[in-house]
Chain A
């Protein structure tokens, strides 16, 4: 690096490219936001851990688990909804909705997701609670770490903590696999060591990720691994509510006594007493007084901490609060703060959410229990028979989404007097046939349509196949073509062609 041109360069000019992790020891706190976080934690983890055990009776031919991803049979069950693989667009729709809702949350109140709902936040919160219970609060943990003495008590504490962490992590992985099989059966198989190997492997993987991400990585995930802090910085604006330190009220910082004296002397005094409680409780170790920043997940715990201090000092709460940058500036200019929830972006997001939701609802309510698809033979496109007739062959797949075996009528429409054959199914009508499809199944059929030479009107004619559910009368139609060899059909028919 150093050369003759830069003689002043000292030999140790390079600073380290890597930094050691700054340990943080978040302190316990009580208050509105902490309570809200506990409630959300109980609800979200409760749903995650117990949902696989909820039953939902669908009939004798379908599983009775309310939420089930049935990979071997390619079905997804969600209470009264059953999704087939070709209907995966519902999931795409849900993902679009989820993204839009995330955007809307961000436009209204910043990183609500990060602070309250993100699995990383929720599990880390739970793991911190365990750590506090066993090793003590911030001060004790810091003292123990600083002392660095490994006496029996400390070893016991560590073993206990990691055991409980691993048990939570194991239960997390265990709950995950229950979404993919009948939960009570799988639990029984798991404890008797009869479950498929893949179940144990997934439990092991999720145990490892939960234990390492919530126990060891913690805020590092938010600071270095997660893309959302970077994305949300681009999505926010000056009207979005964010956890912020109201510097217009807090500055200049001074001790409570000095502030009191200053106020008596009618001098300017801030409410911030520089007690660092907001930093002590922060799960990512940031100082909110430096303003909005990437590390802040906006969980609101610093609001609780500061409010508690302000209450003790007899000053009004809300020195740290959900507020907007715009309002801080307005207060400095002695203007009334404004809260604008209805803005262009919130309106646009809401409209988009309503639109996507409406489209999905329409697609869902208008979906049919009957399905049909046709694939015309490509090679050969048509077959010339010995008597000159032309035959087209189709692979037709009929779908019965209802949960019982049903009779269906398959018919060919749009051609004049065609001969209609379904391989392996006894013929019941001239241009139609009755067939059965099992519950929640599809059936592939080879269908032959033959036209005598005299009835062929065109090299390419429209033909449709209609499948009708005999039980409830619902039907589905698929359009295709009937191909014939090149020929001068128009003049042969003397103008009869025309429909």
Chain B
């Protein structure tokens, strides 16, 4: 900085310069309008007002609340309340309608499926998977095999009261631990397991006395799974003749199941979810594809 002549004029542009010069480069004088400066001051005043009006400063264990008392949590609650009001008519309609009627009415079906999908993702997805695809020991709800029945009413009952829990209304009836409790001698378990494999049209490994297996099955298993192994939804005994296995259909897993028993549980949802939500869930699960 050498020259400080404030009246210096740039010859090319004809504009006055600020008088500042760096290695021969001069700065043209292009001042901002004063109102721009005022905008800056207005922003500062606005900022101070904002800090007073709204939550702003973090304190050690809380924060300054602001004189307007605004909280984003309140806003969510307001939004949720207005959503509830918006859904009110449809929810009331669904509460009074029968499950079959909900499925027959295109508009109610659409709402029930949307509502059910959201509720499923939050409440059911952790075990059954977001797409109800299930997994080992958690049933796939898309297929057409139902342990406790796949009609609308059976699904509704299962969702309301769950499976093998303390609620007296819940589905009861575990698979006993035939091996561990000594009901079937340990040596016979592979024989009955081999017979179970043949029920679904497959060949067991090794050479086993299938006649003995059939006898063992009739004595121990048929009371729940049926003589032909077709299962019984009343007691939650799965169909053993199909391609679908909850815990695995290979011989080794079947031996394990017969030895130790099975007793998957599901919680009670009645009382935890709104009645209309449970209905929507039943319709959603029923319309995934496997409903009966």
Query: In the complex, what distance in Å separates the CA atom of A383 from the CA atom of B103?
Result: 22
Query: In the complex, what distance in Å separates the CA atom of A8 from the CA atom of B18?
Result: 17
* Residues in chain A near residue B145, CB distance under 8 A: 385-386
* Residues in chain A near residue B103, CB distance under 8 A: 424
Query: In the complex, what distance in Å separates the CA atom of A223 from the CA atom of B103?
Result: 65
- B140/A383 in contact, CB under 8 A: yes
Nearest residue in B to A450 (C-beta to C-beta)? Answer: B289
- A17/B242 in contact, CB under 8 A: no
**Tally of contacts, chain A with chain B, CB under 8 A:** 98
Say yes or no: is A10 at the interface (Cβ < 8 Å to chain B): yes
| A383-B143, A424-B109 known; A18+B37 contact, CB < 8 A | yes
Say yes or no: is B131 at the interface (Cβ < 8 Å to chain A): yes
* Residues in chain B near residue A425, CB distance under 8 A: 106
- B106/A424 in contact, CB under 8 A: yes
Query: In the complex, what distance in Å separates the CA atom of A209 from the CA atom of B44?
Result: 21
- A446/B34 in contact, CB under 8 A: no
| A18-B34, A21-B33 known; A380+B287 contact, CB < 8 A | no
Annotate A6-18 by CB proximity to B: 1 below 8 A, 0 otherwise. 1011100101111
Cβ-neighbour of A8 out of B4, B31, B33, B142 (below 8 A): B4
* Residues in chain B near residue A224, CB distance under 8 A: 32-33, 36
- A423/B287 in contact, CB under 8 A: yes
A7 CB, min distance to chain B CBs, angstroms: 11
Query: In the complex, what distance in Å separates the CA atom of A386 from the CA atom of B243?
Result: 5
A272 CB, min distance to chain B CBs, angstroms: 18
| A377-B131, A378-B131 known; A13+B6 contact, CB < 8 A | yes
Cβ-neighbour of B133 out of A16, A379, A423, A446 (below 8 A): A379
- A380/B33 in contact, CB under 8 A: no
B218 CB, min distance to chain A CBs, angstroms: 23
Say yes or no: is A401 at the interface (Cβ < 8 Å to chain B): no
* Residues in chain A near residue B244, CB distance under 8 A: 384-386
* Residues in chain B near residue A388, CB distance under 8 A: 243
Say yes or no: is A393 at the interface (Cβ < 8 Å to chain B): yes
| A379-B131, A446-B287 known; A387+B36 contact, CB < 8 A | no
- A15/B243 in contact, CB under 8 A: no
B16 CB, min distance to chain A CBs, angstroms: 8
* Residues in chain B near residue A446, CB distance under 8 A: 113, 287-289
Annotate B128-139 by CB proximity to A: 1 below 8 A, 0 otherwise. 011101000000
| A19-B33, A380-B140, A424-B109 known; A387+B6 contact, CB < 8 A | no
B248 CB, min distance to chain A CBs, angstroms: 14
* Residues in chain A near residue B2, CB distance under 8 A: 6
* Residues in chain B near residue A15, CB distance under 8 A: 6, 18-19, 29, 31
Query: In the complex, what distance in Å separates the CA atom of A18 from the CA atom of B2?
Result: 23
* Residues in chain A near residue B143, CB distance under 8 A: 383-386, 391
* Residues in chain A near residue B133, CB distance under 8 A: 379-380, 383
The winner among A16, A423, A425 for most chain B CB atoms within 10 A is A423
- A391/B34 in contact, CB under 8 A: no
A379 CB, min distance to chain B CBs, angstroms: 3
Annotate A415-448 by CB proximity to B: 1 below 8 A, 0 otherwise. 0000001011100000000000000000110101
A499 CB, min distance to chain B CBs, angstroms: 27
A215 CB, min distance to chain B CBs, angstroms: 14
Say yes or no: is B35 at the interface (Cβ < 8 Å to chain A): yes
* Residues in chain B near residue A20, CB distance under 8 A: 34
B116 CB, min distance to chain A CBs, angstroms: 12
* Residues in chain B near residue A387, CB distance under 8 A: 242-243
* Residues in chain B near residue A290, CB distance under 8 A: 14
| A385-B144, A386-B243 known; A18+B4 contact, CB < 8 A | no
Query: In the complex, what distance in Å separates the CA atom of A359 from the CA atom of B184?
Result: 78
Residues of B26-64 whose CB lies within 8 A of A:
29, 31-37
* Residues in chain A near residue B214, CB distance under 8 A: none
Say yes or no: is A308 at the interface (Cβ < 8 Å to chain B): no
Say yes or no: is A475 at the interface (Cβ < 8 Å to chain B): no
The count of chain B contact residues (Cβ–Cβ below 8 Å) is: 38
* Residues in chain B near residue A383, CB distance under 8 A: 133, 140, 142-143, 289-290
Annotate B181-211 by CB proximity to A: 1 below 8 A, 0 otherwise. 0000000000000000000000000000000
The count of chain A contact residues (Cβ–Cβ below 8 Å) is: 36
* Residues in chain A near residue B234, CB distance under 8 A: none
Query: In the complex, what distance in Å separates the CA atom of A34 from the CA atom of B272?
Result: 75
* Residues in chain A near residue B35, CB distance under 8 A: 21, 220
- B29/A393 in contact, CB under 8 A: no
Query: In the complex, what distance in Å separates the CA atom of A89 from the CA atom of B136?
Result: 47
Say yes or no: is B274 at the interface (Cβ < 8 Å to chain A): no
Annotate B141-174 by CB proximity to A: 1 below 8 A, 0 otherwise. 0111100000000000000000000000000000
Say yes or no: is B257 at the interface (Cβ < 8 Å to chain A): no
* Residues in chain B near residue A421, CB distance under 8 A: 289
* Residues in chain B near residue A6, CB distance under 8 A: 1-2
Query: In the complex, what distance in Å separates the CA atom of A454 from the CA atom of B15?
Result: 87
- B36/A18 in contact, CB under 8 A: yes
* Residues in chain B near residue A220, CB distance under 8 A: 33, 35
| A383-B290, A386-B244, A387-B243 known; A9+B29 contact, CB < 8 A | no
- B140/A17 in contact, CB under 8 A: no
The winner among B110, B129, B133, B239 for most chain A CB atoms within 10 A is B133
Query: In the complex, what distance in Å separates the CA atom of A290 from the CA atom of B1?
Result: 31
B285 CB, min distance to chain A CBs, angstroms: 12
Query: In the complex, what distance in Å separates the CA atom of A423 from the CA atom of B31?
Result: 70
- A391/B18 in contact, CB under 8 A: no
Query: In the complex, what distance in Å separates the CA atom of A386 from the CA atom of B142?
Result: 11
| A18-B31, A21-B34, A444-B110 known; A386+B4 contact, CB < 8 A | no
Nearest residue in A to B30 (C-beta to C-beta)? Answer: A19
B29 CB, min distance to chain A CBs, angstroms: 6
Query: In the complex, what distance in Å separates the CA atom of A386 from the CA atom of B229?
Result: 14
* Residues in chain A near residue B242, CB distance under 8 A: 386-387
- B113/A17 in contact, CB under 8 A: no
Query: In the complex, what distance in Å separates the CA atom of A380 from the CA atom of B243?
Result: 17
Given contacts A19-B32, A20-B34, A386-B243, 19 further A-B contacts (CB under 8 A): A6-B2, A9-B4, A13-B19, A15-B18, A15-B29, A15-B31, A18-B37, A380-B140, A383-B142, A383-B289, A386-B143, A386-B239, A386-B242, A391-B289, A393-B142, A423-B289, A424-B104, A444-B110, A446-B289
Chosen A-B contacts, 21 in total, with CB atoms closer than 8 Å, are A6-B1, A13-B6, A15-B29, A20-B34, A21-B34, A220-B35, A223-B33, A224-B33, A224-B36, A377-B142, A378-B131, A383-B143, A385-B143, A385-B244, A386-B143, A386-B239, A386-B243, A391-B143, A424-B106, A424-B287, A446-B289
Chain B contact residues, CB within 8 Å of chain A: 1-2, 4, 6, 14, 18-19, 29, 31-37, 103-104, 106, 109-110, 113, 129-131, 133, 140, 142-145, 239, 242-244, 287-290
List the 9 closest pairs (A to B, CB-CB), nearest first: A379-B131, A386-B242, A380-B133, A19-B31, A383-B142, A13-B4, A424-B109, A423-B287, A386-B145
